[in-house]
């Protein structure tokens, strides 16, 4: 008999692992297949931005283990010069930068390499019950209106078998054989540039702080050095196959010479561990869904790594798909909720990817300073100030269709990320974001007790997980930020989705709070 699973995930890197983790944590046991034998062993992408951290923090234990993996302070150090030996750090007020960040999000700085993040995601996904089969590849798939049927092959033995799934998530990278097989066109500029990535061993302790993630922009050379704070050194070298350069050019001798030049020590002892070309891609699929197959991560969009957004977008995609799929499979939401994934993510991602391409076109040495305001790098506003529009958001009358707002001046409008508010409960401090993630959350003003009563009745009638909290009574707002940041008056309320997006808002009390809340939740869930 064919095996049946609720969700089959093809691809075991950031996208696939975050999807599997998000589903398993919500009680849906997916099957993930990945042709590689294990998770990433090279550093690959570095760092989790605040939005990604906030999402992962909703799953018990994940961010605690990530923090345990991080040896250093977690923030990026950027230096520049003609070589590492001569590099200097710009004068910045780092404490002021961190204070500004803390005012907007509870997320700490994080510069962990992808290999360590994947290890944590995998461990927690398996702990929650996800079935992760490394060394297994997808051979072919077909679908009808009810199921996806996939033929899988064990790489080591060649054994093939079939699996049926209610849905399939294509997390199979920027080349995505699944996307190609489905005939989904891809827009964007394609391969907009190339770098050669050289990982090497050398004693650079004289020049680096051992536990600090450091980027060195080697001015005028087309090279950047990266030290991950964990003992791994990487050199990025501009690579121009369009000008006749080939992989054969990058011999071990040439790689050693480039490392020595970037470091500034002509006789440096070093050992090349790995050297490979890397394409800087600009791709956005014209559709993120084909029937019961959903594209996510690089299969749906790919961008140059200069601003560090590709891996973060991948994890965010996985999270966004997971909560939607879990609600649809449990019957709490209608199948049309899955259409809101593309409706929301594609416009915001398109802007982000185009921004990354802009960064790659102006980057000298391919890495920019996160603290130099003269350089057009992704800002905290771009990471936290996005705005979604879809049927899973109850828009307010007269709203524009803008995709961005300033997170330092939040409006509380539906479609925006729920603003950070520092609260206290029984004398203990917590961010409002600690309330999100498991299901829907109703935040009600302390002057409106009827909202929490309405939430209990609506949750029972619809069979939906909905927690209600009163701010001003159960939860204290010592800074007085709640009403201002969420744009409500006394006795108002907001409905927050599992992805911490405001789905609906009532600025003040209404005559029938139960009816208003039920209408909103029914619309958001596409029932």
Q: What is the mean pLDDT of residues 468-492?
A: 94
* 3 state SS of 56: helix
Q: What is the DSSP-derived secondary structure letter of residue 417? A: B
Does 194 score more than 90 pLDDT? no
- Per-residue confidence band for 154, with pLDDT thresholds at 50, 70 and 90: very high
Residues 244-303 pLDDT 10s: 999 999 999 999 999 999 999 999 999 999 999 988 888 999 999 999 999 999 999 988
| pLDDT value at residue 362 | 54
Does 202 score more than 70 pLDDT? yes
Q: What is the mean pLDDT of residues 56-61?
A: 97
- Per-residue confidence band for 378, with pLDDT thresholds at 50, 70 and 90: low
| pLDDT value at residue 37 | 92
Does 24 score more than 60 pLDDT? yes
Residues 105-124 pLDDT 10s: 999 988 888 889 999 999 99
- How far, in Å, CA of 413 to CA of 502, rounded? 7
Does 80 score more than 80 pLDDT? yes
Q: Give the residue, 137 or 215, on which the prediction is more confident.
A: 137
| pLDDT value at residue 368 | 40
| pLDDT value at residue 96 | 81
Length reported for the chain: 527
Does 308 score more than 80 pLDDT? no
| pLDDT value at residue 303 | 83
Read off the pTM: 0.93
CB-based contacts of 247: which residues, under 8 Å, 6+ apart? 277
| pLDDT value at residue 419 | 97
Does 374 score more than 50 pLDDT? no
Q: What is the DSSP-derived secondary structure letter of residue 241? A: G
* 3 state SS of 42: coil
- How far, in Å, CA of 345 to CA of 451, rounded? 30
| pLDDT value at residue 416 | 97
CB-based contacts of 327: which residues, under 8 Å, 6+ apart? 333, 337, 525
Helical segments of 363-416, H only:
380-384
Angle formed by the axes of helices 450-462 and 513-524, nearest 10°? 50
Q: What is the mean pLDDT of residues 310-338?
A: 97
Q: Give the residue, 376 or 319, on which the prediction is more confident.
A: 319
| pLDDT value at residue 252 | 95
Domains, in order of start, for the chain: 3-71+109-187+282-380 (3.50.50.60), 188-281 (3.30.9.10), 385-524 (3.40.30.120)
Phi, psi (degrees; rounded to nearest 5) at 7: -140, 130
| Contact predicate 225/86, CB 8 Å | no
Does 192 score more than 80 pLDDT? no
| pLDDT value at residue 47 | 87
């Amino acid at each position: 008999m064919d095996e049946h699973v609720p969700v089959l995930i093809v691809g075991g890197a950031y996208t696939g692992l975050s999807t599997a983790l998000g589903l398993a944590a919500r009680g849906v046991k997916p099957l993930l297949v990945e042709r590689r034998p294990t998770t990433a062993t090279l550093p690959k992408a570095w760092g989790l931005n605040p939005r990604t951290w906030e999402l992962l923090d909703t799953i018990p234990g994940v961010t605690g283990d990530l923090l345990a993996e991080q040896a250093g302070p977690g923030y990026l150090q950027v230096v520049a010069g003609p070589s590492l030996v001569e590099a200097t750090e710009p004068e910045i007020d780092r404490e002021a930068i961190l204070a500004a960040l803390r005012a907007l999000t509870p997320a700490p700085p994080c510069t962990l390499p992808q290999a360590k993040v994947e290890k944590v995601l995998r461990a927690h996904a398996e702990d929650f019950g996800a079935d992760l089969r490394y060394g297994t590849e997808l051979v072919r798939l077909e679908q009808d209106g009810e199921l996806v049927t996939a033929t899988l092959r064990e790489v080591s033995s060649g054994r093939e078998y079939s699996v049926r799934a209610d849905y399939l998530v294509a997390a199979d990278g920027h080349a995505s054989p699944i996307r190609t097989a489905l005939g989904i066109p891809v827009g964007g500029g394609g391969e907009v540039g190339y770098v050669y990535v050289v990982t090497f061993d050398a004693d650079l302790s004289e020049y680096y702080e051992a536990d600090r993630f450091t980027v060195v922009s080697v001015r005028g050379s087309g090279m950047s050095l990266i030290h991950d704070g964990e003992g791994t050194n990487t050199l990025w070298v501009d690579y121009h196959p369009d000008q006749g350069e080939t992989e054969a050019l990058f011999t071990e001798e040439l790689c050693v010479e480039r490392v020595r030049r970037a470091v500034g020590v002509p006789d440096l002892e070093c050992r090349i561990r790995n050297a490979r070309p890397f394409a800087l891609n600009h791709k956005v699929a014209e559709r993120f869904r084909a029937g019961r197959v959903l594209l996510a991560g690089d299969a749906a969009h790919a961008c140059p790594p200069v601003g560090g957004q590709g891996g973060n977008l991948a994890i965010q995609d996985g999270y966004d798909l997971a909560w939607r799929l879990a609600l649809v499979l449990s019957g709490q939401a209608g199948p049309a909720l899955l259409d809101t994934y593309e409706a929301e993510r594609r416009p915001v991602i398109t802007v982000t990817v185009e921004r990354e391409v802009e960064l790659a076109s102006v980057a000298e040495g391919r890495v920019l300073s996160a603290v130099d305001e003269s350089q057009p790098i992704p800002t905290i506003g771009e990471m936290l100030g996005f705005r979604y529009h879809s049927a899973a958001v109850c828009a307010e009358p007269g709203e524009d269709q803008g995709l961005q707002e300033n997170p330092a001046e939040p409006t509380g409008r539906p479609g925006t990320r729920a603003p950070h508010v520092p609260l206290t409960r029984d004398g203990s401090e917590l961010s409002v974001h600690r309330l999100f993630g498991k299901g829907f959350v109703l935040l009600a003003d302390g002057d409106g007790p009827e909202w929490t009563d309405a939430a209990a009745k609506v949750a029972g009638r619809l069979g939906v997980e909905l927690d209600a909290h009163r701010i001003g009574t159960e939860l204290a707002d010592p800074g007085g930020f709640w009403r201002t940041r969420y744009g409500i008056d006394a006795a108002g309320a907001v409905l927050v989705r599992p992805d911490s997006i405001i789905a609906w808002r009532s600025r003040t009390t209404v005559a029938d709070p139960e009816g208003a809340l039920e209408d909103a939740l029914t619309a958001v869930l596409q029932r």
